[in-house]
């Protein structure tokens, strides 16, 4: 067979195989149940290069949808093919919020009754946001109580005229009067055969609402290709935004330190893949920062870091350090261990000092889970607490017990990250897996 004939036969065959492989990989990625966290609108911000980022209303979405039926049975709802929270956001944005008023709640009991009311949906934020951020996220224009804080949205199914914003602190309730409210468009995505229902219970005590998983929970494990941002590019973006500064780099104690002048410094830990940035250029200037301002500005700074934001959501505000905290999420569950604190932190202090702490690493595309079971069954929250108490841990030091994913390096490939479902316990101010606490590690 001549070389020419061989090429005529082999080249189309190779091309056909490559096309088939591409189709298979594309179908896998689109059908992977964890992909919907990556669906978002895109805006662009430019410094030294054009950056793709999620819009502010995607970052400040609730992360949980709880349904209470007519028998007061509560379930955390998950649709593995589409984000139910995003679907609710789309519908609420079509409603017309006419006014807001504060409801007088006489007791924790009446607050609990509203929180756990029959035939209701509750959208939970990980931490407090403001009415101004409600306007931003849900395309509304409420003019009163804009600085008031809340962390839950209660949507009664049979009340066509209202939704309620709940603040756990001193059981504050705000009633929002609506027009054009309708849940009919959500019926298809809320169909039982498309939704996973996880048995939960919300309890309110001492100005805190606790979400407990009342039965064993079956969770999926995932693996992702890991992407890594270039430290030099981030340094140029943060230290040389105008393109007129000289960025110097030095190695100090195994870390890379980037500086420009004496006001900005970025320190990279290559071993951990973490970045710590400090900006002293406005240090000493007094500034008053409301929670709304903190949330808005921190998002602005977050979007300039240049790190992928596909999975990132608002996680909380640390008033002690004046830091806004973000985490990556999969199917509405937070990811821990990505950095030392497992999060991204934007600190904006009252005296003008700004600090950012984040990771060079991020999740890229899902890949088949290797080396571990694809699903993990975890015990109920009550069982976890009982085991911790039996192991000698103090009840008054056990804070939030949260279902999430543990970020760990795949043993077979440095390019793959395994996400393993587990409980994380905030014990005495630090997050630890319940298994590590029980094993004493």
Estimate to the nearest angstrom the gap between the alpha carbon of 322 and the chain centroid.
19
d(CA 140, CA 328): 26
pLDDT tens-digit map of 335-359? 998 676 578 999 999 888 999 999 9
Predicted confidence at residue 105, as pLDDT, reads 77
Quick check: 44 and 50 in contact, CB under 8 A?
yes
Using 70 as the pLDDT threshold, list the residues of the chain that sit under it.
Answer: 1-53, 241-243, 338, 340-341, 369-373
Backbone angles phi, psi at 317, to 5 degrees: -125, 125
Question: What pTM was computed for the model?
Answer: 0.87
| Percent of the chain residues topping a pLDDT of 90 | 66
Predicted confidence at residue 373, as pLDDT, reads 64
Report which of 295, 305, 430 is spatially closest to residue 358, judged by C-alpha positions. 305
The DSSP bridge pattern shows strands 398-409 and 333-336 to be parallel
25 Cβ contact partners less than 8 Å away, ≥ 6 residues apart:
none
The dihedral of CA 257, 287, 327, 203: what is its sign?
A: positive
CATH of domain 225-441: 3.30.310.160
d(CA 46, CA 307): 13
Residues belonging to the chain: 441
For helices 131-138 and 84-92, what crossing angle results, to 10°? 90
Q: Where are the domains of the chain?
A: 54-215, 225-441
Distances in whole angstroms, Cα of residue 206 to Cα of each of 6, 56, 69, 302, 331:
78, 32, 26, 33, 29
d(CA 382, CA 363): 32
Predicted confidence at residue 62, as pLDDT, reads 97
Strand partners, 144: none
């Amino acid at each position: 067979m001549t070389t020419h004939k061989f090429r005529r036969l082999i080249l189309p065959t190779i091309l056909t195989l490559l096309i088939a492989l591409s189709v298979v990989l594309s179908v896998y990625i689109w059908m992977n149940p964890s992909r919907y966290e990556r669906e978002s609108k895109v805006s662009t911000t430019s410094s030294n290069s054009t950056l793709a980022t999620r819009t502010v209303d995607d970052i400040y979405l609730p992360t949980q949808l709880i349904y209470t039926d007519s028998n007061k049975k509560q379930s955390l709802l998950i649709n593995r093919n589409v984000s139910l929270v995003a679907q609710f956001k789309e519908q609420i944005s079509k409603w017309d919020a006419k006014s807001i008023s504060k409801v007088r709640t006489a007791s924790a009991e009446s607050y609990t009754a509203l929180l756990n009311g029959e035939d209701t949906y509750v959208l939970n934020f990980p931490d407090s946001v403001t009415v101004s951020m409600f306007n931003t996220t849900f395309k509304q224009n409420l003019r009163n109580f804009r600085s008031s804080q809340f962390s839950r949205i209660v949507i009664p199914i049979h009340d066509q005229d209202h939704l309620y914003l709940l603040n756990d602190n001193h059981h504050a309730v705000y009633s929002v009067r609506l027009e054009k409210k309708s849940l009919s468009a959500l019926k298809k995505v809320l169909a039982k055969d498309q939704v996973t229902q996880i048995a939960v219970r919300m309890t309110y005590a001492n100005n805190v609402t606790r979400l407990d998983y009342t039965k064993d929970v079956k969770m999926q494990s995932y693996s992702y290709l890991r992407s890594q941002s270039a430290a030099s590019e981030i340094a140029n973006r943060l230290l040389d935004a105008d393109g007129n500064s000289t960025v110097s780099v030095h190695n100090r104690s195994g870390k890379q330190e980037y500086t420009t002048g004496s006001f900005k410094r970025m320190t990279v830990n290559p071993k951990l893949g973490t970045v710590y940035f400090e900006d002293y250029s406005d240090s000493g200037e007094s500034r008053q920062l409301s929670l709304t301002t903190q949330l808005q500005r921190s998002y602005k700074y977050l979007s300039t870091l240049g790190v992928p934001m596909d999975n990132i959501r608002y996680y909380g505000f640390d008033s002690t350090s004046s830091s806004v905290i973000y985490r990556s999420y999969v199917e509405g569950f937070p990811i821990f261990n990505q950095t030392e604190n497992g999060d991204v932190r934007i600190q904006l202090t009252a005296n003008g000092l700004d600090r950012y702490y984040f990771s060079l690493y991020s999740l890229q595309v899902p890949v088949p889970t290797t080396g571990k079971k694809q699903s993990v069954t975890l015990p109920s929250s009550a069982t976890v607490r009982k085991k911790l108490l039996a192991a000698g841990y103090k009840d008054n030091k056990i804070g939030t017990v949260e279902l999430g994913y543990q970020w760990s390096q795949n043993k077979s490939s440095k390019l793959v990250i395994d996400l393993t479902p587990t409980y994380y316990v905030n014990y005495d101010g630090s997050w630890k897996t319940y298994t590590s606490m029980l094993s004493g590690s």
